[in-house]
A and B are shown apart, each in its own frame.
Chain A
């Protein structure tokens, strides 16, 4: 998605990204980025929380209209939960049992095979 933003921007269309993966988006390098420190899947705001979603959009629009230069990141002031413990869980093998790890490996191989078939058919 960052690559698409860069391509639009380079061709005259100003862009803003709403996202939750700060390091990945900034590593690519994008013109404007509204970062929400939320679990992946909630880039547009907290589920079932219209106020959070409205604020997230408004912040993104303000980043779009006021960014002074490329690589402008603004972090939303919203927090997912007061306790930040959720951040320790994502793809963290230290928190999984050997059985869970084996299951993850099986799922990964299976998904890859499905995606390959679908891509070849597309």
Chain B
């Protein structure tokens, strides 16, 4: 096997972003950081479990400007409250409101950030017991306080209301 080049590692996003904002003259961002991590074992096999999908993608909002594919960063498409929508259909959810890699990808295929169609297939194949009737949208808030005190408890409440046994979270 040939050795890989030095730069062929996962992108050091925190360092890259710190350097970037520092040189642009903005204050440094502090990412969430904990030493303790909770862990809950599965109560039953996945084939008998109900899964909740949680995404940071935003519902398409007519009138909120270019939301892609290939849109520039669009702060007007952001959302600030947890939302939910049906898992029976394929909702139109976009990622123009987040800092995805706009040089090397164009956000053309929703299945690359929102795996609902694949999850529906997994249920049909018996790999998963069921999906909860709704998926949930988590706001991409730079305020960790709002995420911790408002959004995370709201997501938990909705997951419980839907009888979720497990959850798949897909940040963008």
Partners in one complex: yes
Which residues on A are within 8 Å of B, measured CB to CB?
1-19, 21-25, 27-31, 35, 37-48, 50, 53-54, 56-58, 60-61, 64-65, 67, 69-71, 80, 84-93, 101, 104-105, 107-108, 110-112, 114-115, 118-119, 122
The answer to whether the Cβ of B91 comes within 8 Å of any Cβ in the partner chain is no
Decide: A57 and B16 in contact? CB cutoff 8 A.
no
Decide: B76 and A8 in contact? CB cutoff 8 A.
no
Contacts of B103 in A (CB 8 A): 39, 86, 89-90
Decide: B115 and A91 in contact? CB cutoff 8 A.
no
Decide: B4 and A108 in contact? CB cutoff 8 A.
no
Q: Do A1 and B54 contact each other (CB < 8 Å), given the known contacts A24-B31, A43-B170?
A: yes
Contacts of B166 in A (CB 8 A): 13-16, 64
Decide: A39 and B20 in contact? CB cutoff 8 A.
no
For the complex, what is the distance from the CA of A37 to the CA of B111, rounded to whole Å? 17
Task: State the majority secondary structure of interface residues on B.
Answer: loop
25 CB-based A-B contacts, threshold 8 Å: A2-B32, A2-B171, A3-B144, A4-B155, A8-B159, A8-B167, A13-B52, A13-B159, A14-B42, A14-B165, A23-B12, A27-B31, A30-B37, A39-B101, A47-B111, A64-B166, A84-B8, A86-B101, A90-B13, A92-B16, A101-B23, A107-B72, A114-B76, A118-B75, A122-B79
The answer to whether the Cβ of B124 comes within 8 Å of any Cβ in the partner chain is no
Shortest distance between the CB of A31 and any CB in chain B (Å) = 5
The residue of chain A having its C-beta at the shortest distance from the C-beta of B140 within the complex is A1
Contacts of B79 in A (CB 8 A): 122
Contacts of B5 in A (CB 8 A): 84
The residue of chain A having its C-beta at the shortest distance from the C-beta of B151 within the complex is A4
Decide: A45 and B115 in contact? CB cutoff 8 A.
yes
For the complex, what is the distance from the CA of A101 to the CA of B171, rounded to whole Å? 27
Contacts of A39 in B (CB 8 A): 100-101, 103-105
